[in-house]
Structure 1
Amino acid sequence: MKDSFNTQRLYIRPITTDDAPFILELMNSPKWIQFIGDRNIKSEEDAEAYIKEKALPQIATHGYGNFVVIRKSDNIKLGTCGVYHREGIEIPDIGFAFLPSNEGKGYAFEATSALIELLKNNYGLTKLSAYTLEENLASRKLIERLGLKLKGTGVLPTSDEELLHYYREL
């Protein structure tokens, strides 16, 4: 989606290359490394290249992809959320990541539930998946709160690591 949207506390907009410093910080946070994996983003230039190569093509192709979540009260970037189409996987999957200081405050649920409604209503999305490591209890809790049910296990095209695979119809 090329457009931004709001919730009560949040402003959510498509990622841009201007977000490279924030993405560098987020992708090197301990939980990102632990649960999502080291993407070898070690400089703002790496982060900008990642945005250009991975995030912007999704937005150009599907009209939506990765979004930056910003708190309205102080314009602080809190994290990201998005729905992603992956090569070789039929059903798009939802993902989210927040800086440690912004976890546990309901921001991820607020942003992702609004995103799901928007994609369902404006883009005709009818099915949604999510993938996470079994030990990522916070992610699993949020995925289940979003109404996705555990379907089994699966792997993403970029890894051979077995992940829990969740699914729901919208």
Structure 2
Amino acid sequence: MLTFTTARLAYRQLTQDDWPFFLSLQRDETVMRYMADQGSEEEIYAAFSTRLPVWSPESRHWLGLLISDKASGEPVGVTGFIRREEDKAEVGYLLAKRHHGLGYGYESLRAVCDLAFKQCGIRKLVATVTEGNVASRRLLEKVGFQLEGTLRENYFFQGRWQDDWVFGLLNQEYC
């Protein structure tokens, strides 16, 4: 099982025991405000289960990582990435509301970028963010991601078609 740490956080692959925390993230309206409409528990579990298989750098399924506070062991959020092409991957992250604004998003996104670029041979990371999610946009830009464009009416969410911002970060740009 993949495990590693950063200054304040510990990361490990998701296990079945993390289901209650994952569900709590998905049920939190603040966390999901720009992510998705409220799904059924069965739909949420289906998404969770795609992150449970054993992962290796060659895997084509989500690397699902639980983020925990090193000092307390308290779950902070989930993060990871999925290869979309041989050398290109999409990153994703959700942080529990009580951990917003503490720099955990930056620390954890840097850790995922380090893993993808330095250990997995990824050439490019991408992220798709619903337009209006300024906090996520700022986080991506702080790490070095660049806005590559807007996909107009790309995602049906909250009863209407939403635009998506697409961000990218090349390995050669990452520092």
Partner of residue 75, structure 1: 73
Q: Which runs of 5+ in 2 are unaligned?
A: none
Q: Is the 8 A contact 2:155 2:163 kept in 1?
A: no
Please give the per-residue CA displacement for 1:53-94, whole angstroms capped at 9, x wherever unaligned: x223583624861211000111100111111235x9x83211
- 1:12 equivalent in structure 2: 11
Deviations 1:133-152 (A, max 9, x none): 22111100001011010110
Distance 1:138 1:158 in 2: 19
Identity of aligned residues (%): 26
Which residue is 2:148 aligned to? Answer: 151
CA gap 1:17/1:38 in 2 versus in 1, 3 angstroms: farther
The equivalent residue for 1:118 is 115
Structure holding more strand per residue: 2
* SS of residue paired to 1:164: strand
**Residue 92 of structure 1 contacts residue 128 of structure 1 at CA under 8 Å; is this kept in 2?**
yes
Structure with greater proportional helix content: 1
Q: CA deviation at 1:23?
A: 0.5
TM (norm. structure 2) is 0.81
User: Structure 1 length as normaliser, TM-score?
Assistant: 0.83
Separation in 1 of the partners of 2:162 and 2:64?
22
| Inter-partner Cα distance in structure 2 for 1:39 and 1:85 | 26
SS at match of 1:128: strand
- RMSD between aligned residues: 2.7
Output the CA distance in 1 between the equivalents of 2:121 and 2:108.
Answer: 19
Please list, as runs of the form range in 1=range in 2, the aligned pairs for 1:55-134 lying within 5 A after superposition. Answer: 55-57=51-53, 59=55, 61-62=59-60, 65-86=63-84, 91-134=88-131
